[in-house]
Chains A and B, each alone.
Chain A
Amino acid sequence: LIVNLLGISLTVLFTLLLVFIIVPAIFGVSFGIRRLYMKTLLKIFAWATLRMERGAKEKNHQLYKPYTNGIIAKDPTSLEEEIKEIRRSGSSKALDNTAEFELSDIFYFCRKGMETIMDDEVTKRFSAEELESWNLLSRTNYNFQYISLRLTILWGLGVLIRYCFLLPLRIALAFTGISLLVVGTTVVGYLPNGRFKEFLSKHVHLMCYRICVRALTAIITYHDRENRPRNGGICVANHTSPIDVIILASDGYYAMVGQVHGGLMGVIQRAMVKACPHVWFERSEVKDRHLVAKRLTEHVQDKSKLPILIFPEGTCINNTSVMMFKKGSFEIGATVYPVAIKYDPQFGDAFWNSSKYGMVTYLLRMMTSWAIVCSVWYLPPMTREADEDAVQFANRVKSAIARQGGLVDLLWDGGLKREKVKDTFKEEQQKLYSKMIVGNHEDRSRS
């Protein structure tokens, strides 16, 4: 009897809690509970760090501190300058600029190669960022030692709260959110086209995304909301995880672009497209760049259609940098609305390392972290200028996003996560060096 009572009271409590969370989501209001939660967590983390530092001092050791900005000093000088310097220091001949090849030239390539082995700019972007101080999750505990009894108890409490209270709650919320989305959009799809349908569709979408946001305990700060994307534009943002979509779509009404998936994702996609025109491509169509560009252009030119949401990096990067933007979406000629998204990894790292974790594992990891905290900046719209081509425009937008989000602006392709780098880059280096050796003798023929 007691067990029954307990069961019933727990269920009632649970449902009440759900309602308490879902109702504000429907109306787009917030009680501020999540921010309070965030502040409490910050205080706890600060205390934990102090304890660990104290423990380290007692043992007279250094605490391990990771540095995301690089561990070695690198010279930004070019190939030419470096090699000239090496030659100058070794040459007793006075400014002999007919010097062709010197044995010491190899030092440049050797050192550059060693520097990249110790610390390179690209590979570290494809794995989660290291935290500066521990956040009481054992998945981020690399080399954080000196964990006292009190900290361990706190960690244990954290595990209990996260797995036994937060996780079921979040799963229930996610389930509600997704099913409401599917059901809601299907229902709206049966209505005749018109303003009422649009209105309802928008609100169904927003409501469901807000529920999903609460399902992840995402605490989002939006900046400069007056720059939000408008109809007929393209919204581009840096890509860290599939959650980016939920974060952006809970504050605005977008048309999604993507590949048709099977399974649950496919069901969601088919339902969504009934209510409003998203752009879904079949797998075979994705390869055809012209077809993709054509469909996007058509969508963009229809001013009544929603702004498109695109992630031009093409793959998930770990939110410490922005990598090369693919020029496809910048060739279309529409207004580009850049958005910068920066996550705070201390509460839960949102980066999806797709070579390590599948989607389900990733979502469960998200739902067992403390929270997802991020800032979203809506940047002023940009258009392609007359004298720049798509690649330059893409780079300009990328720099603006990197600057706003405090991320490193890289020219490397995010596709290097899985593919080998193209040989053309090596050939460029070889060409540069060849110029140094024979550049002074213009009359000699080159093969």
Chain B
Amino acid sequence: GPPSPAHRPRVCSRVRSRNSALSLLDPWPYLPSFPPSRRGRYWRCCSRGAPGSVMGSRASTLLRDEELEEIKKETGCEFGQITRLYSRFTSLDKGENGTLSREDFQRIPELAINPLGDRIINAFFPEGEDQVNFRGFMRTLAHFRPIEDNEKSKDVNGPEPLNSRSNKLHFAFRLYDLDKDDKISRDELLQVLRMMVGVNISDEQLGSIADRTIQEADQDGDSAISFTEFVKVLEKVDVEQKMSIRFLH
């Protein structure tokens, strides 16, 4: 599994290293290609502009070759994409402990103004946990890889890729399904609707919208939308394009 992040005390927003005189110097932080390091190559994606600190204290922000390979296999992303996203991960990680918390996500202004921002942030954190490491981060983002990329590496016997149509729909389903019981009840739909419209629509109106939606989708008469019913309603929607994010270059 991934290396456990070293436990460091939370740093305050104004970070000044104690040995600031030392950190001013340009010490030997990078690994030149001679002599070859026996531990394998490290990809050092430091947060931009940080003074190179003495080797070793930044171990938790290094991404090992083996980890890179594992992530590549699991998510199907390319090498360049993974390193760029790792760069992004470390720049979001203000506490510099190798994991992201909910506050780290909420610091992104464009996400904070998204009506469903909190639901999306929630999707990154597995049940009951407050921190997500880079593997988890990539696993969630991998849902949004374009589907055509799968054509290059078709593995019929392997597990279903994270960015298949079904998995993309499942991701959207989980945004609605607040209590994770694999059913979207009327209450859950109302709550999500309320998040999306704010105070601009009355309760009765919203209620009738929710009722109508469930009525149209529900086929087994349990007044809730199961995943299969969800898929059936959206069978004509171009999920591949609408739930995919394309990398430039």
Instruction: Specify which chain A residues have a CB less than 8 angstroms from the CB of B112 in the assembled complex.
Output: 420-421, 426
Instruction: Please measure, in the bound complex, the distance between the C-alpha atom of A113 and the C-alpha atom of B112, giving whole angstroms.
Output: 9
Distance between Cα atoms of A148 and B243 in the complex (Å):
44
Q: How far is the CA of A358 from the CA of B13 in the complex (A)?
A: 12
A128 close to B49 (CB less than 8 A) = yes
| CA gap between A143 and B201 in the complex, in Å | 51
- Supposing A106-B172, A112-B114, A127-B48 touch, asked if A438 and B205 sit within 8 A by C-beta, the answer is yes
B88 to chain A, nearest CB (A): 6
Cα(A428)–Cα(B230), bound, Å:
29
- Pair A159/B105 contact, Cβ less than 8 Å: no
Residues A127 and B91 in contact, CB atoms below 8 Å apart: yes
Which listed segment binds B: A17-25, A97-105, A219-227? A97-105
Closest Cβ–Cβ distance, residue A82 to chain B (whole Å): 8
Interface membership of B156, Cβ < 8 A: no
| Residues in B neighbouring A446, C-beta threshold 8 A | 200-202
Contact A116 B33 (CB under 8 A): no
Closest Cβ neighbor of A59 among chain B residues: B33
Point out the residue from B15, B87, B144, B197 that lies within 8 Å of A433, measured CB to CB. B197
Interface size class for chain B? Answer: 35 or more
Does B87 contact A142, Cβ atoms closer than 8 Å?
Answer: yes
A311 to B87, CA, bound (A): 31
Q: CB of A416 within 8 A of chain B?
A: yes
B47 at interface by CB-CB < 8 Å: yes
Neighbouring A residues of B13 by C-beta, 8 Å: 355, 418
Q: B27 near A70 (CB under 8 angstroms)?
A: no
Contact A113 B120 (CB under 8 A): yes
Q: Which residues of A contact B249 (CB under 8 A)?
A: 67, 71
Chain A residue at minimum C-beta to C-beta distance from B33: A146
Contact, CB under 8 Å: B233 / A103: yes
Partner of A110, one of B41, B116, B141, B236: B116
User: How long is the Cα–Cα vector from A146 to B114 in the complex, in angstroms?
Assistant: 42
Binds B, one of A117-125, A244-252, A387-395: A117-125
- Which residues from chain A contact B80 at a C-beta distance below 8 Å? 62, 64
Contact assessment for B114 and A116 in the assembled complex, using a CB-CB cutoff below 8 Å: yes
A416-B48 contact in complex given A148-B32, A364-B24, C-beta closer than 8 Å = no
Interface size class of A (residues with CB under 8 A): 35 or more
> Is there a chain A Cβ closer than 8 Å to B110's Cβ?
yes
Contact between B79 and A62 (Cβ–Cβ < 8 Å)?
A: yes
Q: List, in ascending order, chain A residues with CB within 8 A of B116's CB.
A: 106, 109-110, 113
Q: Is A115 an interface position by the 8 A CB rule?
A: yes
In the complex, which of the residues B44, B105, B237 contacts A104, with contact meaning CB atoms closer than 8 Å?
B237
Instruction: Judge whether B6 is part of the interface by a CB distance below 8 angstroms.
Output: no
**B43 close to A143 (CB less than 8 A):** yes
Determine the chain B residues whose CB is within 8 A of the CB of A165 once the complex forms: none
Is the pair B111, A113 in contact by a Cβ cutoff of 8 Å? yes
Contact between B115 and A426 (Cβ–Cβ < 8 Å)? yes
- Do residues A118 and B85 form an inter-chain contact, with CB atoms below 8 A? yes
B67-75, B147-155, B209-217: which one contacts chain A?
A: B209-217
CB distance A142 to B198 under 8 Å? no
B227 to chain A, nearest CB (A): 12
Chain-B contact segment, one of A40-48, A85-93, A300-308: A85-93
A349 to B49, CA, bound (A): 9
A141 interfacial by beta-carbon distance below 8 Å: yes
A149 at the interface (CB under 8 A from B): yes
Shortest CB-to-CB span from B211 to chain A, Å, is 11
B95 within 8 A of A: no
**Docked complex Cα distance between A361 and B23 (Å):** 9
State which of B49, B175, B192, B200 has its C-beta within 8 Å of the C-beta of A356: B49
Q: Once the chains are docked, how many angstroms separate the CA of A390 from the CA of B242?
A: 39
Give chain B interface residues in 75-92, CB to chain A under 8 Å. 79-80, 83-85, 87-88, 91-92
Instruction: Judge if B239 is at the interface, Cβ distance under 8 Å.
Output: yes
Q: Check if A145 is an interface residue, CB within 8 A of chain B.
A: yes
| B246 nearest in chain A by CB position | A73
Whole-angstrom distance between the alpha carbons of A356 and B23 in the complex? 12
Given known A-B contacts A72-B248, A103-B213, A128 and B41 have beta carbons under 8 A apart: no
User: Given A103-B217, A141-B52, does the pair A111, B33 have CB atoms closer than 8 Å?
Assistant: no
Q: Please indicate the chain A residues that have their CB under 8 angstroms from the CB of B79 in the complex.
A: 62
Bound: A112/B244 CA distance, A: 10
Mask for B86-107, Cβ within 8 A of A = 1, else 0? Answer: 0110011000000000000111
Give the residues in chain A near B108, CB-CB below 8 Å.
Answer: 116-117, 120, 122-123
Q: Verify B27–A105 contact, CB threshold 8 A.
A: no
Interface positions, chain B 9-68, Cβ under 8 Å from A, are: 13-16, 20, 24-34, 41, 43-52
Is B178 located at the chain interface by the 8 A CB criterion? no
- With contacts A90-B234, A143-B45 taken as known, whether A73 is within 8 angstroms of B105 at the C-beta atoms is no
Q: Contacts A71-B247, A447-B201 given; indicate if A117 touches B111 (C-beta within 8 A).
A: yes
Binary CB contact string for chain A from 1 to 42 against chain B (1 if under 8 A, 0 otherwise)? 000000000000000000000000000000000000000000
Q: What residue in chain A is nearest B15 (Cβ atoms)? A: A356
Q: How far apart sit A435 and B201, CA to CA, in the bound complex (Å)?
A: 9
Task: Please state if B176 and A106 are interface contacts (CB–CB under 8 Å).
Answer: yes
The answer for the CA separation of A89 and B15 in the assembled complex, in Å, is 50
Residues of A near B28 (CB, < 8 A) are 138
Contacts of B247 in A (CB 8 A): 71-73
Distance in angstroms between the alpha carbons of A258 and B200 in the assembled complex: 43
Report A-chain residues with C-beta under 8 Å of the C-beta of B181: none
Question: Does B48 lie within 8 Å of A129, measured CB to CB?
Answer: yes
- Top 6 A-B pairs, shortest CB-CB distance: A430-B198, A128-B49, A90-B237, A434-B200, A113-B120, A116-B110
Question: Can you list 11 A-B contacts with CB-CB less than 8 angstroms, sorted by A residue number?
Answer: A73-B246, A110-B175, A138-B27, A138-B30, A142-B45, A145-B30, A151-B32, A426-B113, A433-B196, A433-B197, A446-B201
Known: A143-B45, A433-B196, A447-B200. 13 other contacts (CB 8 A): A104-B242, A105-B196, A110-B120, A117-B120, A118-B88, A122-B110, A138-B29, A143-B44, A147-B30, A356-B15, A368-B24, A425-B109, A431-B200
